[in-house]
Amino acid sequence: MNQEEAKGRIERLRKEIEEHNHRYYILNDPVVSDFEYDLLINELQVLEKKFPELSSPSSPTLKVGSDITKEFLQYEHRYPMLSLGNTYNFDELRDFDARLRRAVNGPVEYVCELKFDGASISITYVDGVMSTALTRGDGTRGDDVSANVRTISAIPTAIRNHDIPEEFTARGEILMPRAVFHRLNEEREKEGLNPFANPRNAAAGTLKTLDPAVVASRNLDCIFYFLLGENLPHKTHYGNLRILSGWGFKTDGNTELCRSIGEVIEYIDKWDKLREELPFDTDGVVIKVNSLDQQAEAGYTAKSPRWAIAYKYKAEQARTRLLSVSFQVGRTGNVTPVANLDPVQLAGTTVKRASLHNADQIYLLDLHVNDMVYVEKGGEIIPKIVGVDSAARDESGKRIRFIESCPECGTMLVRNEGEANHYCPNYLHCPPQLKGRIEHFISRKAMDIDGLGEETVDLLFSNGLIRNVADLYDLKPEQLVPLDRMGEKTASRIISSIKGSVSIPYHRVVFALGIRHVGETVAKTLAAEFPSLNQLMSADIETLTTVNEIGPKIASSIVSYFTDPENIIIISRLRSAGIKMTGEPKKTGSAGILSGKIVVVSGVFTRHSRDEYKEIIEKHGGRNSSSISGSTSFILAGDNMGPSKRAKAEELGIKIMGEEEFLAMTGEL
């Protein structure tokens, strides 16, 4: 591979890895296994080492994946939360041991801990009382989820022991027990909601929920694995874990002290067989040097400690034959390919179907009918195909190609630039989209219409009684009673619940409309910024993108929705039915020096962080925007403001204001 070829491959790898990081840390919806992800990282590391002139400080090989989201405040970790190096074989573990013994003085002991698959949390205590609880974030800064963490009964909010340090940090993994996970998914399916893929995704998603009451209801647990601070009680990691346990923190009783790499390997082998008996998902073993002095001697790379490594168990796989691929259309029109397989036993269940995610996955696997494929179930609800045994290929097998038109209505599919999925744009007439949108509308977090579910919606749809959400409000009991499994009592309950839904708050109505890319959180933001549906309907893309968290993709989707005449008719009918179309306007701070101003924050600051400046802007009545437009009032600029933003500001004649001037203007100096 020459330098030009390497450059192209490196750029593609970085882009692909960043996309996987976004799906794992932000969306809690990974599409590749840890093993596949690590292969991509390893390939990128090899290329960057071979072609050092192509290295970049922003490469994903040099930074921790980030779970930071805009709904929470962020704060810096006093002690960075680095990632761990991974290995899948014992030879690399022995190499790790040999490197350490050369790097530190004295005999080396290791602490072996089960690697639980959840959401990492770092909690600081001051004078024995919980101060802040931060997610991993980007390793340097994390989201403040303290309000949510305080609702988890397994986590102490105050420590009563007399021998605790004045300030310390306890780190752990927030987990969802398998039993809770299965119960939660059963409830979600009854409510017409998509099930969580696995307990890790469920725990991470719950931790980022904006309602602490929801967190409290999910029965999360937490196992702590680290004590950090000044003047710790012990000079060993194992000793400090035992101290943490004595202070009331839940630690893993299966942790062991090992005096050789041979004992470490025995521990790994033992738990590979026993881990399925645990109440939580585990995906490996973490091996740490026990001595804190030796940890300091070994030091760190830019991304991970040299004194710790994670041994990852490979997800269970099975080999079976691919019979065909079918294509399913979801509520928003997304088309998902699903592999139909010869039934095979995998992780205790019979697998007949596997996810293929999107057209890119089919292309990368180069799938053919009758291929022998490898199926993996690493905690996923629907297993996925991770490889093909090309040596066993039947040459007569036809290559699988992604379809060009919708399998339900025949409309040509669309794939927007920068998106992974194809979708059917015929959202007003495509049957699964029509039914899916009605199911979304009646769901608990939307209009909460009791007595209606997926089966009942399908029954009403197939009998021609409903074609859109407005039709629900025209239903009469005498239309329902003759239907299968209905009866007068059930029909009466459904009609009563439909009538009662007119009292649902405005922000949930915005969510219930099912606008593409408008989820529950975005709907709340829109309802606050546009306190009537008429205002939201008349907003253009430029106005929408001045709203914090609303980017061009969401704005374009909203405008497209409200320019469709059939949607306007549906909204008019909902309004006539009494649905709430207005809410409370967004409250702004009492000081109004920035009232009516739209401000873009750009660059690096010394006095406050970017997020703190955004809070100050809102406190004084202003609105934040992520993009510069003709409606931007001024730009608050720090060091290293992007040249493209500066050029656009100069082109539009928008004032660029420095940090000191802004603080003086707002009285925050």
Q: Is residue 62 predicted with pLDDT exceeding 80?
A: no
pLDDT, tens digit, for every residue of 536-558?
999 999 899 888 678 888 999 99
Give me the pLDDT at residue 277, please: 85
Q: What is the model's pLDDT at position 139?
A: 84
Question: For residue 295, what are the contacts with CB-CB under 8 A and spacing of at least 6?
Answer: 237, 288, 289, 305, 307
Q: Give the closest residue to 649 by CA, choosing from 625, 665, 613.
A: 625
Q: Go through the domains of the chain in sequence order and give each one's CATH number.
A: 3-54 (1.10.287.610), 74-312 (3.30.470.30), 317-392 (2.40.50.140), 431-576 (1.10.150.20), 598-666 (3.40.50.10190)
**Residue located via tokens 């769901």:** 443
Indicate the average pLDDT of the chain.
87
Share of the chain above pLDDT 90, in %: 44
DSSP H helical ranges for 146-257: 146-149, 178-190, 199-207, 212-217, 237-246
Q: Say what percent of the chain tops pLDDT 70.
A: 92
Whether 456 shows a pLDDT value over 80: the answer reads yes
What end-to-end distance do the CA atoms of the chain give, in Å? 56
Cβ neighbours of 530 (radius 10 Å): 24
- In this predicted structure, what is the pLDDT of residue 571? 96
Q: Which of 30-39, 156-165, 494-503, 558-567 has the lowest mean pLDDT?
A: 30-39
Cα–Cα dist 621/627, whole Å: 19
Distances (CA, A) of 555 to 22, 522, 542: 21, 11, 8
In this prediction, residues 125-133 reach a mean pLDDT of 92
Interatomic CA distance for residues 26 and 4, integer angstroms: 33
Pick the closest to residue 454 from 189, 75, 110 (CA basis): 189
* Catalytic site includes residue 476: no
Interval 168-224: pLDDT, tens: 999 999 999 988 888 888 887 766 566 777 788 888 888 888 778 888 888 899 999
d(CA 618, CA 614): 6
Range of weakest confidence among 301-310, 467-476, 644-653, 658-667: 644-653
List C-alpha distances in Å: 592 to 597, 613, 631, 635, 667.
10, 16, 18, 18, 12
Mean pLDDT is lowest, of 66-70, 324-328, 390-394, for 66-70
- For residue 229, give both structure tokens: 């601070």
Cα gap 80→45, rounded to integer Å: 22
Contact 267, 285 (CB under 8 A): yes
Tokens of 348: 């205790």
Q: Give Cβ neighbours of residue 389 (< 8 Å, ≥ 6 apart).
A: 319, 371, 372, 373, 374
Q: Provide the CB-side half-sphere exposure for 436 (13 A, CA).
A: 19
pLDDT at 589: 46
The pLDDT tens digits for 312-363 are 887 778 899 999 999 999 877 889 999 999 998 886 678 898 988 889 889 8
Give residues with Cβ within 8 angstroms of 387, minimum separation 6: 365, 373, 374
Q: Confirm if 624 and 614 have CB atoms less than 8 A apart.
A: yes
Tell me which residue of 375, 367, 314, 366 sits closest to 342, measured CA to CA. 375
In which band, very low, low, confident or very high, does the pLDDT at 26 lie, cut at 50, 70 and 90?
A: low
CA distances from 268 to 29, 69, 258, 341, 427 (A): 28, 35, 11, 33, 51
**What CA–CA distance (Å, rounded) separates 564 from 271?**
58
CA distance 33 to 248: 35
pLDDT digits (tens, 9 = 90+) for 231-264: 899 999 999 999 999 999 999 999 999 999 999 9
pLDDT above 50 (res 367): yes
Look up residue 31 and give its amino acid.
V
Give residue 102's pLDDT. Answer: 93
The whole-number pLDDT of residue 101 equals: 93
CA-CA distance, 265 to 309, in Å (whole number)? 13
Q: Give the active site residue among 115, 288, 312, 580.
A: 115
What local confidence, expressed as pLDDT, does residue 420 receive?
A: 80
Minimum mean pLDDT among 137-146, 331-340, 422-431, 604-613: which range? 604-613
Give rounded-to-5 percent helix, strand, coil for the chain: 40, 20, 40
Spatial CB neighbours of 73, under 8 Å, sequence gap ≥ 6? 143, 144, 611, 615
Cα–Cα distance between 468 and 430 in angstroms, integer? Answer: 11
Q: Nearest to residue 86, comparing CAs of 42, 120, 55, 117? A: 42
Is the pLDDT at 643 greater than 50? The verdict is yes
The C-alpha atoms of residue 616 and residue 593 are separated, in whole angstroms, by 11
Mean pLDDT (whole number) for 136-142: 86
pLDDT of 107 over the 80 cut: yes
Confidence of residue 22 (pLDDT cuts 50, 70, 90): low
Nearest to 373 by CA among 421, 341, 402: 341
